[in-house]
Amino acid sequence: MSLSQVAAELDARDPLAGKRAEFDLEPQLSYLDGNSLGAPPRSVAARLDEVVRKQWAGRLIRSWDEGWWQAPERVGDRIAPLVGAAPGQVVVSDSTSVNVFKALVAAVRLNPGRPEILVDSTTFPSDGYVADSAARLTGHEIRRVPPAEMAAVVSERTAAALVNHVDYRSGLLHDLPALTESLHAAGALAVWDLCHSVGAVPMRLDAAGVDLAVGCTYKFLNGGPGAPAFLYVAEKWQERFDQPLSGWAGHADPFGMTEAYAGGAGISRARTGTPEILSMLALDAALDVWEDVTVEQVRAKALALGDFFLRCLDERVPGAEVLTPRDHRRGNQLSIRRPDAKRVMAAMTESGIIGDFRPPDVLRFGLAALYVRYVDVLRAAAFLSGWPG
């Protein structure tokens, strides 16, 4: 069969094929950038209309007592199964960068007497900026190390390590349970950035003994641009969790207006400021798409999409420099290096095939299995095969 016939057959047999109809996507659009910004579920617009017209306009300030104030913990509990966490350990609030700062400072405060913080040297730049700031605040030294080398260099000097579960450039998937175990063996705490894996890769934070983790919600969770991030704090650390941004929303009695700060019970003390209600409840609506599907199903399809993409590239674009592992040690994306990557992606986007470009020369294609089709990855490979460069 031709690749077109194979793609058509795979799409026809896809058990998740019906999920695309739950997203507001043009039928002819090949959207391969869900690893940067997820597509909008159709349920979001209706939910926001209700929030604005009925809750905000209709109930006004009374809505804070009718579910708004509790939203960070409630929505966090909806994310918890997607990261393998029991209820009461995930809270939705603030941005990813803010939560990385809170988690890293809290981690070194939980593990005093150790002067060093290990940072994934391949990390998304913002994590590195935040880690530098946290180190200046706490008097720690930063040591940048590739995740593959962390198990060999972690020592009694290491307070905590900040690691990405999936490399944002290459799509390489790191071994979260094994690396967490290695860090713990040296007495260090594990802080994981899950931005490129939540909603894409099955994980079991509780079972792996992860200490703290952060993740964004606007990629594979489809929460929308600027949707609030989440913070996971293992139950064993919550009573001692001492974050540097002790705002009123994390207070034990936030409306008591007392002068002294007292952290709230459980995961609530990880909150800082007033919840972002409109974006929070947009995310809440977006999570409805997970009610009848598992991360394991999404992962199985995304791996199959990646395998088919690689087959298409091998046949149509022989010699393409694929940065992403060809085996399944990858997240739900495929990255290709080309010297003309910026011009290529601009042309692809113009033709209705949307991926993204990362300087200086990387094309990234997100395989968000809830709405990406086999025909979409074939279209991408076909475009690359015909590009004059």
14 noted as active-site residue: no
DSSP characters for 138-194?
HTPEEEEE-HHHHHHH--TTEEEEEEESB-TTT-BBP-HHHHHHHHHHTT-EEEEE-
Q: Residue holding tokens 């109930």?
A: 59
Rounded CA-CA distance 79/369 in Å is 18
124 noted as active-site residue: yes
Rounded CA-CA distance 188/126 in Å is 22
33 is in an annotated binding site: no
The residue annotated as part of the active site, out of 23, 31, 124, 383, is: 124
Rounded CA-CA distance 41/284 in Å is 11
124 is in an annotated binding site: yes
User: What is the length of the chain?
Assistant: 389
Rounded CA-CA distance 159/249 in Å is 28
Three-class secondary structure of residue 45 per DSSP: helix
155 is in an annotated binding site: no
126 is in an annotated binding site: yes
193 is in an annotated binding site: yes
357 is in an annotated binding site: no
Residue 169 CB neighbour total at 10 angstroms? 16
Residue 188 backbone zone (phi > 0: left; psi -120 to 50: alpha; other: beta): beta
The residue annotated as part of the active site, out of 78, 269, 271, 364, is: 364
AA identity, residue 120: D
219 noted as active-site residue: yes
308 noted as active-site residue: no
101 is in an annotated binding site: no
274 is in an annotated binding site: yes
Three-class secondary structure of residue 366 per DSSP: strand
356 is in an annotated binding site: no
The residue annotated as part of the active site, out of 168, 218, 230, 308, is: 218
The residue annotated as part of the active site, out of 19, 143, 219, 271, is: 219
Rounded CA-CA distance 350/65 in Å is 47
248 is in an annotated binding site: yes
Rounded CA-CA distance 299/166 in Å is 14
96 is in an annotated binding site: yes
Q: Which residues of 344-383 are buried (b: 16+ CB within 10 A; e: fewer)?
A: bbeebeeeebbbbbbeebbbbbbbbbbbbbbbbbbbbbbb
193 noted as active-site residue: yes
Known binding-site positions: 96-97, 124-127, 193, 196, 218, 248, 274
- Active site amino acids: 124, 193, 218-219, 364
Known binding-site positions for pyridoxal 5'-phosphate: 96-97, 124-127, 193, 196, 218, 248, 274
